[in-house]
Every structure is written in structure tokens, then in C-alpha cells.
Amino acid sequence: MWYFSSPFLVFGEDALDYLEQMKMNKVFIVTDKVMRQVGFVEKVEQKLKNLPHQVFDEVEPDPSLETVQKGAKLCQKFGPDLIIGLGGGSAMDTGKGIWFLYENPDQAIDSLNPFTYYENFPAKAKFVSIPTTSGTGADVTWAIVLTDTAQKRKITPASRQIVATVSIIDPAFALKMPPALTAGTGLDALTHAIEGYLSAWRNDFSDACTIKAVEFVFKYLARAYKDGNDKEAREKMHNAATMAGLAFGNSQATFAHSIGHSIGALFHKPHGNCVGMALPYVMEFCRKNGTGVKEKLADIGRRALLLTGTDEKVSEDLILKVRALIKEIKAPATIPELGISKVDFDKQLPTLTKYTSEDSCISMTNPMPNDEQIEKAYHYMWSGKRIDF
Amino acid sequence: MVKFMTDGWVKEYCKALNNSAAYNKAAETWEGDFIFESDDAGKVTRLYIDLWHGKCRKSFQITKEQINPEFVMSGPYANWKLVAQKKLDPIQGLMTGKFKLKGDMAKVMRATKAAIEMVNAIMNVPGTEL
């Protein structure tokens, strides 16, 4: 027995109009200050007509436990029957956390776990996720990535019960993304899709989402990067990100995310850039050492990109295509290109290795790397050398 | 050979944890004890495991002792058997309600890798007789 979790998905042009059809009385919007500046909060407010609503726009990049707790207190006081998470992964994850605490005030956010069934949740409010970037997948996943500022570590409270009630995948929100953000978030989506396919918990349903997501990323990411006004490319990338979110959300991410979480926690670099940088190295490591990985990568290559040849060739071609895409959209391909100095890298390498080895995603990797392999992989990601061990 | 879910088995399980480099490393900061509880048509077996900094310090089948461990993982014997046979991923078992876990969940969620290694070791006790 296994599950596939997904919100009710509303997608395509004018998807935001769906808000007008929802029954609600009071709305609490969780977002960040950039969303206000670019007019996205106002855009959502217009759909609420004159309903009472409150905006909590204090979500920071790499949101902390404290931000969730602060937002939950305000939400509790306001008493909404609809909570909206508007923005990138940080805003949507914070929204999910606030929703959980609003409904379960006697619980701690870091105790949220997939092994407990929370009675009568949700009872007070629905949660609507509205992604404004095309990559995080946080609109459809059931984990919340938060930063424990005291320990400088990322934690991932998770429960299938915190999957959004509705996710509004409106490509209009993606139009304003600058090229670098388009590149980073697009690679995040690609990493979700491919890691979801290699994960120990992959399944038929998550595999289906992977194939279409990979196809779309290769078809549309470079187009969206080069011309932000390419509406077709924007819409398809927005859909690809959600499909990739459904893929890894229902199978789990692996080694590249452990690397991304660790670099992100220590150096505060954009998540998409970190996991995208790590992706081809991880594919190489798993292809060389994992059971059946070559075949799985070849399967992705054949189905999503119509590559032909032996498993050996197609799996290698897929990795080369990932590397070429990273280059085409000028995304970081090495740790120095993430903007990390050699001094800082050397200083933090033991901690990076430790954090990576302790990250929960590492356990889903085929095969699970040991500390020596993790540290070696970091050296390769520093130099740009392809993994050969 | 040791019969699964008995005093002899839990002692072998303790050795398996101590011999697992992956568990030793993942749980190097873990302090906390567990009870594995199995229910076989009303016959309840409770196995105690004391875990400390990557090592299993002691383990035994509880008979009359009153022990209140930090965590209790419980489920039907048939499901425990599926884990030992490598037919059921114990974490997936927890997530689908085939097992229950009681205790400080915030603590577990900060030590997910140690928890995964710990339950995975159930599948790797040599000479388990089912």
C-alpha cells in the first residue's frame, strides 16, 4: 500500500479567477515583501473583492521556525477560513506551517511528522498555494523546509495532511521572473523530476509525472530563460514545476537535495542553483554505483527526450544534456560558480559533508553514499570534474 | 538461528546495530530508548532497546518490568515479519499506518537518518528464524 497526494489543481491562463468561485469569509495571505512590490498581493486581493483579509508579508528567504510561529499567532488572532501561500517555496512552505499551527495550536511545528494522524485537521480553514516561480514544487508537496536558526540547519517537518487544498498554477505570475531566477527554479524542477525517478520510493504515479516534467523542462526552460515574455514557455514550465513537485513529493528527493540543503544552510545560496549544480554529479555517481540506475536514466532519456541507443549511451547522453542545459541557461555548474570562495569552502567542507550525510534525502539515494564519497563529490563539484568513482 | 521477536533476537539486533557503521555514524548524537511491540493475535511481545550515541547499550524482552521508554514502535506481528523478510519498508510501514510510533516526534524528525538506519537494521539481523 502506498499513497499519491495532490491538491486540487487549477491551472492555465486566468487560473487565479478560481479564487472568486471559492466559498470563504476571511482570508489570511502569507507572502513576502517582493510579492507586494511587484503587485502580486494586490492582484490576489482584487479576486477577494471586499472580503476581510490580512496580509503577513514577513516571509524571508530560508524561512525560520520563528517566522512560522509569528505568522501563526497573527493568523490565530485573525481567524480566517482560507489561508493563501503566495510566492516561491519559502512563502508557500511558511503558509503550510502557519496553517498547521493555526489548526493545531497545541503542537510544535518541528514535531509535525508523517507518522501521526492529526484528528480534525483541517477543520478551520482551507489552504491555497499560489506559486509565483516555476520550480519549487512546494505548492503540491507535503514537506515544509524551514531553517533552525539556532543550529544553522534546515529541518523538514512533513505530513501528507498539509498538502494544499487547492493549488492555483497561473502562469501570469511567472512572467516577471528575471532570467537567473527562471534558470535556478527551472533546474530545481528538473532535479525534482529526475531524483523522484531514482528515489527508493519511486512509484508508477510519480514516474508518470517525471517523464512529462523532464520533457517540458528540456523543451521550454531555455526558451523561458531567453524570452521571459514567451507565454507558452512560461505556462509549460509552470506546469512542469508542479508535475515535478508531484513526482518527488510522492517519491522523495535524493543526494542532490542533501547537497542543496547543506550548501543552502551554510552559504545561503539559492536552492535551485545549488541542487541544479549538484544534479549531473549525482546522476553520474548513481549511474556508476547504483543498482538499475543506468536503466532508469536511459528510460527517462528515451521517454522524455526520445533519445536512442543502448542504456549505456542514452543514460550518458541524458547527463550530457543536463550539463548542456545548465550551460545554455548560464546556471552555476560548479561550487565556485555559486559564489563560494575556496577559503570558505575548505573551512566548511567537514560541516558540509556532515550535514549532507545526515540529511533525510540521502537515505533515498541509490546507492546511499558514505562520508568519504560525499566529501569526494564536493571536491569534484568544486573543480567541475565529472564523477568517476 | 534466533526466533524473530524474542529475547534472543533482540540481543542479536543489538549486535547488528553495534556492527552497523551506518547506524553508528547516523546516531552518534542520539540518546533515547525504544520498545518494539508486536501483537500476534493477542499475544503481545515487548522488546526493549537502549540506544546511546550510535551504540546499543542493552536489549532484552520485557517480561514483568515496568519500563517507560522514550519511544514505542508497535504493530501486528505479521507486519514485523514482512519487515524482517524485506517485503515492507519500515518507514513506509509507519507512514501507511501498518506501525505506530509514540514519543517525542520533534526529536525523531531531527534524527531521521538515525531512525531510518535503526529500523532498517531489523532487516539485517543474521540468522533470524521467522
The pLDDT tens digits for A133-173 are 999 999 999 999 998 888 777 788 999 999 999 999 999 99
For residues A197 and A300, the answer to whether their CB atoms sit within 8 Å is: yes
Q: Are residues A343 and A271 in the same domain?
A: yes
Q: Are residues A186 and A273 in the same domain?
A: yes
Last residue of a domain, one of A123, A140, A174: A174
Beta-carbon separation of A357 and B25 below 8 A? yes
Mutate to test the interface with B, among A115, A254, A364, A372 (most CBs of B within 10 A): A115
| A3 within domain boundaries | no
Q: Are residues A144 and A277 in the same domain?
A: no
A184/A362: higher pLDDT? A184
Angle, helices A204-226/A231-249, rounded to nearest 10 degrees: 150
Q: Are residues A23 and A130 in the same domain?
A: yes
pLDDT recorded at residue A127: 98
Q: Are residues A243 and A288 in the same domain?
A: yes
| A388 within domain boundaries | no
What are the distances in angstroms from CA A14 to CA A18, A44, A111, A223, A377? 8, 12, 37, 22, 44
Q: Which residues of B touch A358 (CB under 8 A)?
A: 26, 113
Residues pairing with B129 in the sheet: B3
For residues A237 and A206, the answer to whether their CB atoms sit within 8 Å is: no
Q: Are residues A16 and A90 in the same domain?
A: yes
Query: By CA distance, what is A359's nearest residue in B?
Result: B113
Query: By CA distance, what is B29's nearest residue in A?
Result: A358
Sign (positive/negative) of CA torsion A170, A172, A178, A179?
positive
Question: What phi-psi label fits residue A337: left (phi over 0), alpha (psi between -120 and 50 degrees) or beta?
Answer: alpha
Q: Kindly report the CATH number assigned to the domain that includes residue A236.
A: 1.20.1090.10
Beta-carbon separation of A201 and B101 below 8 A? no
The pLDDT tens digits for A171-229 are 999 998 999 999 999 999 999 999 999 998 999 999 999 999 999 999 999 999 999 99
The pLDDT tens digits for B110-126 are 888 888 888 888 888 98
Tally of domains within chain A: 2
For residues A356 and A362, the answer to whether their CB atoms sit within 8 Å is: yes
Query: By CA distance, what is A3's nearest residue in B?
Result: B96
Nearest to B26 by CA among B90, B121, B95: B121
How high does pLDDT run on average in chain A? Answer: 96
Label residues B102-117 b or e (16+ Cβ within 10 Å = b).
Answer: ebebbbbbbbbbbbbb
Last residue of a domain, one of A109, A140, A174: A174
Q: Are residues A99 and A27 in the same domain?
A: yes
pLDDT over threshold 80, residue A258: yes
Last residue of a domain, one of A174, A194, A229: A174
Tally of domains within chain B: 1
Q: Which three cell numbers stand for residue A115?
A: 507518522
Q: How many residues does chain B have?
A: 130
Span B91-105, average pLDDT: 90
Nearest to A114 by CA among B116, B114, B107, B109: B109
Query: At which residue does the C-alpha cell 510522492 appear?
Result: A250
Q: Which three cell numbers stand for residue A299?
A: 528510460
Please compute, for residue A99, the number of CA atoms within 13 A of its CA located in the half-sphere on the CB side.
33
Nearest neighbour of A116 by CB, restricted to B22, B89, B105: B105
Question: Which domain covers residue B66, as residue numbers?
Answer: 2-129
Helix (H) / strand (E) element for B75: namely strand B71-76
Query: By CA distance, what is B107's nearest residue in A?
Result: A111
- Tell me, what amino acid is at A352? L
Q: Kindly report the CATH number assigned to the domain that includes residue B41.
A: 3.30.1050.10
Task: Quote the CA–CA distance of A296 and A311 in Å, as a whole number.
Answer: 9
Whether chain A has a CB inside 8 Å of the CB on B100: the answer is yes
What are the distances in angstroms from CA A94 to CA A56, A123, A177, A337? 10, 19, 21, 29
For residues B73 and B57, the answer to whether their CB atoms sit within 8 Å is: no
The pLDDT tens digits for A318-359 are 999 999 999 999 999 999 999 999 999 999 999 999 999 888
Beta-carbon separation of B95 and A115 below 8 A? yes
Beta-carbon separation of A115 and B105 below 8 A? yes
- The region of weakest confidence among A295-304, B46-55, B65-74 is B65-74
pLDDT over threshold 80, residue B7: yes
Whether chain A has a CB inside 8 Å of the CB on B116: the answer is yes
Q: Are residues A214 and A340 in the same domain?
A: yes
Question: Which domain covers residue A185, as residue numbers?
Answer: 179-383
Span A306-312, average pLDDT: 98
Beta-carbon separation of B96 and A362 below 8 A? no
- Coil, strand or helix at A15: helix
